[in-house]
Chain A
Amino acid sequence: MPGMHIQLKEASKTFDQLRVLQRINLEVKPGEFVAIVGKSGCGKSTLLRLIAGLEPLTEGTLLIDGKEAKGLHEDTRVMFQDSRLLPWKTVLDNVTIGVVGHDKQAARTALKLVGLEDKRHEWPSVLSGGQQQRVALARALAGKPKLLLFDEPLGALDALTRLEMQNLIESLWEEEKFTAILVTHDVSEAVRLADRVIVIKNGIIDLDVEIPLARPRQVDQAFIHYQNTILDRLMKKEIRRR
């Protein structure tokens, strides 16, 4: 099951006169892991929502596997910053929502992938934040998505849980070979996980850099080099072009 191929062409997004994204051109190859970083309010989440089909484009086109996409694609899943589990369904029933055809056995298999099979009869509210996100990940994976979009899903977790989740996401991505796009404000998370990091600034792509490091990645010289390159670009004062 190959990942999805995504092409954004001259994509712009405007909210009530406010230009959030301007003429974005972006291609994500099948199975690629792309991270989008930027300061808050730079439009990175909006970009993700455009690709997800949660928001319509104001201008430009979105091609999924070569065809123009309108609205949500059935093989796309999104993980949000909050887990968005239904509090009135047990962990297993929550994951079952993600299964096409609502098969419990498939949901259980997905729960096993994230290591929470033994929690399947609990209510979501008794789980820790990290466990809730793992259930949300299982729900997303249960439908065998071809594109998985992460909207800062680890932002609210503590540092150790975060590392665990990063490893989990990486290993599941390597196994399932879906296309992944991760929005984050954590540069080291981006360098750790992504094949390519994109920096968004004032609604345009400011930097697009490959990270050719071997996986699993260690924080070594090369890692720090990439991290600093991206950070410098993020923090640099805006060049006046007017």
Chain B
Amino acid sequence: MSQKTLRSLGSLIPWIIPVLVVTAWQLLGSLGILSSQILPTPAKVIEGTLRIAADGSLYEYIWISTKRAFIGFFIGGSIGFLLGLLNGLFPIASRFLDTSVQMIRTIPHLALVPLVILWFGVEEEAKLFLVALGVAFPIYLNTYHGIRNVDKGLIEMGRVYRLKGFSLFRQILLPGALPSILVGVRYALGVMWMSLIVAETIASDTGIGYMATSAREFMQMDIVVLSILLYALLGKLSDVIASILERSWLQWHPNFYRKKKKA
């Protein structure tokens, strides 16, 4: 076998287990060993998907959930990032704020669900608030620590070369903190979906979570399974986004080297 075919076969390896699992699932269902009341077969799930895709509600729900997730992420991420920068760059701000932020952080943000429903009902704000709250802390922590742990030798070098203020920040502090910030982003993307699922399941009248809850009431097992699969796919999508960010922003990092083009 040539190198090329070997390599393309190699890229199939991660998919062996998923394919086997789906095949076994379908077989068990078709043979009647696995009751459709417990788990509908993959074929049934595809059928259900086509059914709700036909009237367009599927796309609408996916779009609404994705939008919520990313708006919430943007709001919470910005707050966490700015707060992390503020406390990382100015010791006085960190003395003033860090303890309070750490205390709030220890509250599981999903414990606030009842309060959030009382405040916002099933409106958009409820979902955005929960997502933003969940996302803000991992980004805050990793930005703060990233800035604080930038190599002191590099900062001193910056002083010798008269880098000050914004140019010191842009050339040394921010890039130095970026690997840590991106770890926070990756973690926050996970928290983002989790918060959204909880929020949409409990208090919502649109979105994938709502789709799952209402399907449960009508015993539409195929749609329930579909919702779970959709969350898995969207979760994977955000993971891909995170690794694209890492590869493009951390090209210099030995972990993310790409072959550089000769200029």
Residues of A participating in the B interface, judged by any CB pair closer than 8 Å: 52, 54, 72, 74, 76-78, 80, 82, 84, 86-89, 97-98, 121-123, 125, 139, 143
Contacts and interface: CB of A to CB of B under 8 A. Distances in A.
B252 A78 contact: no
Interface string B146-166: 000000011011011111000
Contact of A86 (B171, B178, B254, B262): B171
B177 to A, nearest CB: 11
Given A52-B160, A97-B171, 7 more contacts: A72-B162, A76-B160, A80-B153, A86-B154, A121-B260, A123-B252, A123-B260
Contacts, number: 50
Which applies to chain A's interface (DSSP): helix, strand, loop or mixed? loop
When A and B form their complex, which 4 residue pairs have the shortest distance between CB atoms, in order from nearest? A84-B157, A88-B175, A88-B252, A123-B252
B157 A80 contact: yes
Interface residues of B, number: 23
Contact of B163 (A52, A80, A97, A122): A97
Contacts of A80: 153, 156-157
Contacts of B254: 125
Given A54-B159, A72-B160, A76-B160, A89 B252 contact: yes
A85 to B, nearest CB: 9
A88 to B, nearest CB: 4
Contacts of A97: 161, 163, 171
Nearest to A136: B157
Given A88-B252, A121-B263, A98 B159 contact: no
B159 A72 contact: yes
Contacts of A74: 162
B253 interface: yes
Interface string B126-164: 000000000000000000000000000110110111110
Nearest to B262: A121
